[in-house]
Amino acid sequence: MTPVLAPFPAMMPMGVRLVESAGARIVPINWRPFPDGESLITLDGDVAGCDLAILCTLQDPDRHILPLRFAAATAREMAASRIGLIAPYLGYMRQDRRFAAGQAVSAPLFAACLEESFDWLITADPHLHRIQNLAELFSIPARHVVTAPVLAGWIARNIASPILIGPDEESRQWVAEVAALAGCRYEVFHKHRSGDQEVEVIAPSRIALTAGTPVILDDIASSGGTLVKTLKQLAPAWKSPPICVVIHAVFAARAHARVMEAGARRIITTDSIPHKSNGISITPLLGEAWCSQIENGERQLESKEDPQSFRS
């Protein structure tokens, strides 16, 4: 059975690279928005009997979720055998508990919504806090690829004497991993968030950055507030302007411009979300995970295994 990839329009460049790694073919998803805000979704090809993966990144989940579900439902009507989702960025993972009375706990709600449409999920470095693993949210096979090796490789190849900066304690574990892989030092700042765009970042007193190039690592840049505050803390100490390395380039409104105006020499991001700052490709990681999922699916069809056994 030849696997099929159905990319949403913005993800077509990544889709072309992914099908090469999996020996798959592409069935494009055409998304036609109407003036009244409704959408017409069309699968431009035959998917009957196919192991289908829909490629859609979810940095704007409210806008994407209905077209995404329409695409999955249409594929089932067209007799696709299995339908999975490759979402390089997975939204709605931050709100994993009720912080004030009446608030929706959106992480499990969004996971349940996706489970209604898909048989499996692949993503990259989801923004999890108190949830340790995607298996706590999803009953379908859900795996994530780890981007630390490709981040470390890019830093080692492109930056002389890097000193990695984690903007908060939550970043310590993965910043330490990237630093170990890149063979460089790291420091971790302390962050206090009092609102959606109100962030205080405090540098550790022992920080000494004059001997290298500061590299601020962050998993998500949304409002850009954390990066801006970190840059301001670094300003008195830097010998050369810092470089910002970000996994997921959400960059709402003027966030990218704000970070550059705060003194960043460069912002480099992965291609999990299409953006002009993309420079580190995670497509090979997603391709490897997809190939593994295809093999698992074939074994499941042959042996009728419980699909949960493939969760990673």
Instruction: Give the closest residue to 49 by CA, choosing from 28, 74, 23, 78.
Output: 78
Within this chain, do residues 159 and 233 fall inside the same structural domain, yes or no? yes
Within this chain, do residues 18 and 35 fall inside the same structural domain, yes or no? yes
Within this chain, do residues 264 and 300 fall inside the same structural domain, yes or no? no
pLDDT (tens digit per residue) in 243-282? 999 999 999 999 999 999 999 999 999 999 999 999 999 9
Within this chain, do residues 161 and 260 fall inside the same structural domain, yes or no? yes
Within this chain, do residues 153 and 57 fall inside the same structural domain, yes or no? no
Q: What is the pLDDT of residue 10?
A: 96
State how far the alpha carbon of 293 is from the alpha carbons of 22, 27, 143, 284, in Å. 11, 19, 9, 14
pLDDT at 185 over 60: yes
State how far the alpha carbon of 177 is from the alpha carbons of 48, 202, 212, in Å. 43, 22, 19
Within this chain, do residues 153 and 263 fall inside the same structural domain, yes or no? yes
74 vs 20, more confident: 74
- Mean of the per-residue pLDDT values for the chain? 89
143 vs 306, more confident: 143
CA 226 centroid distance within chain: 18
Within this chain, do residues 274 and 287 fall inside the same structural domain, yes or no? no
Within this chain, do residues 154 and 208 fall inside the same structural domain, yes or no? yes
pLDDT at 151 over 80: yes
Q: What is the pLDDT of residue 155?
A: 97
Within this chain, do residues 76 and 57 fall inside the same structural domain, yes or no? yes
Within this chain, do residues 78 and 58 fall inside the same structural domain, yes or no? yes
What mean pLDDT do residues 106-120 have? Answer: 97
Q: What is the pLDDT of residue 193?
A: 56
pLDDT at 156 over 90: yes
Q: What is the pLDDT of residue 38?
A: 95
Q: What is the pLDDT of residue 309?
A: 33
Within this chain, do residues 257 and 290 fall inside the same structural domain, yes or no? no
Number of compact structural domains in the chain: 2
* CATH value at residue 221: 3.40.50.2020
Structural domain including 195 reads 148-280
State how far the alpha carbon of 195 is from the alpha carbons of 7, 49, 120, 130, 226, in Å. 35, 48, 34, 19, 12
Within this chain, do residues 229 and 260 fall inside the same structural domain, yes or no? yes
DSSP symbols for 31-46: EEE-TTS-EEEEE-S-
**What is the Cα–Cα distance from 100 to 145, expressed in whole angstroms?**
32
Q: What is the pLDDT of residue 39?
A: 96
**What is the Cα–Cα distance from 268 to 163, expressed in whole angstroms?**
16
What mean pLDDT do residues 112-133 have? Answer: 93
**What is the Cα–Cα distance from 102 to 305, expressed in whole angstroms?**
40
Q: What is the pLDDT of residue 165?
A: 93
21 vs 138, more confident: 138
Count of helices and strands (H, E) across the chain: 8, 16
Lowest mean pLDDT among 155-159, 194-198, 270-274, 277-281: 194-198
pLDDT at 17 over 80: yes
What mean pLDDT do residues 16-44 have? Answer: 94
pLDDT (tens digit per residue) in 247-258? 999 999 999 999
